[in-house]
């Protein structure tokens, strides 16, 4: 339990940093729930700089729920290229279709409804509610975790999110949660640059495997080729000397199971 003084001191540090070094991000210039949903899904496991390169083009080509729901997955992936984790693009299309059929083409302003959509977990749903609807919600993402671990936990201690959540709740600035969350995330991001990533002290931390030769690289290469060529024979992928034959075959099958690609006769394509 934090004292009133500890809460006020922490809030002042976070706000002072935000006033001096707050990030100018395009999705912060809107309260449109659709555009905020797009940005939050893009930001899952992806650095801000990479999202900055894609966000503007994406919302220009798919400016609303209807346009995204009607778009082909191939067209969506064409814009998505470079962000990685391509199943998020498919989840966005499915989420848009759900919003059309179940929510009268509007983004619901509550966490339970949002988490019923494909690709939307609790942290993403809470962020959408905070930024689009200014709701005071308690949640943790990587930069929020960083801010609290840096300030309130000693080095060497393995910390669970369950230990951090009560502190997030105590320090939440109820009068303007949108700006508070912006400030908190910016402060955490700055701390990582300055001191390294304290999330390695989290029990939930998982080090991302190397990209070269990984399934992520193989999947990305398959989808990039299918976006460019529309359809290709399976042998075209299996003959690629960059990757082991069995790894390519395994990833083709996994992409088919996920519905990201389909096969008709000898040809693979994005449905």
Catalytic residues: 40
| Positive/negative CA dihedral, 189, 193, 198, 200 | positive
- 158, 203 contact by CB (below 8 A): yes
Report the candidate in 256, 217, 213, 216 with the shortest Cα–Cα distance to residue 234: 256
- 239, 252 contact by CB (below 8 A): no
State how far Cα 41 lies from the chain centre: 4
| Positive/negative CA dihedral, 95, 99, 101, 102 | positive
| Local structure of residue 209 (DSSP, 8 states) | P
Three-state secondary structure readout of 53-111: HHHHHHHHHCCCHHHHHHCCHHHHHHHHCCCCCCHHHHHHHHHHHHHHHHCCCCCCCCH
């Amino acid at each position: 339990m934090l004292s009133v003084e500890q809460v006020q001191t922490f809030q002042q540090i976070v706000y002072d940093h935000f006033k001096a070094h707050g990030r100018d991000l395009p999705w912060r210039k809107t309260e449109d729930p659709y555009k905020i949903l797009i940005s939050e899904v893009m930001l899952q496991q992806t650095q801000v700089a990479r999202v900055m390169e894609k966000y503007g083009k994406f919302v220009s080509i798919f400016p609303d729920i209807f346009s995204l729901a009607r778009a082909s997955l191939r067209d969506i992936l064409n814009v998505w290229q470079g962000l990685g984790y391509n199943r998020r693009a498919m989840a966005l299309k499915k989420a848009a279709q759900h919003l059309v059929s179940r929510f009268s083409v509007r983004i619901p302003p509550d966490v339970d409804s949002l988490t019923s959509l494909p690709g939307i977990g609790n942290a993403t749903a809470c962020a959408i509610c905070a930024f689009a609807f200014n709701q005071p919600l308690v949640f943790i993402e990587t930069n929020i975790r960083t801010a609290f671990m840096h300030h309130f936990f000693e080095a060497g201690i393995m910390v669970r999110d369950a230990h951090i959540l009560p502190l997030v709740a105590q320090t939440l600035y109820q009068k303007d949660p949108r700006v508070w969350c912006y400030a908190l995330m910016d402060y955490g991001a700055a701390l990582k640059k300055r001191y390294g990533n304290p999330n390695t002290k989290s029990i939930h931390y998982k080090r991302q495997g190397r990209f070269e030769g990984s399934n992520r690289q193989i999947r990305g290469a398959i989808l990039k080729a299918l976006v460019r060529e529309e359809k290709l024979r399976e042998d075209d992928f299996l003959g690629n000397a960059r990757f082991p034959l069995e790894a390519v075959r395994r990833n083709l099958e996994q992409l088919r199971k996920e519905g990201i690609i389909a096969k008709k006769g000898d040809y693979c394509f994005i449905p």
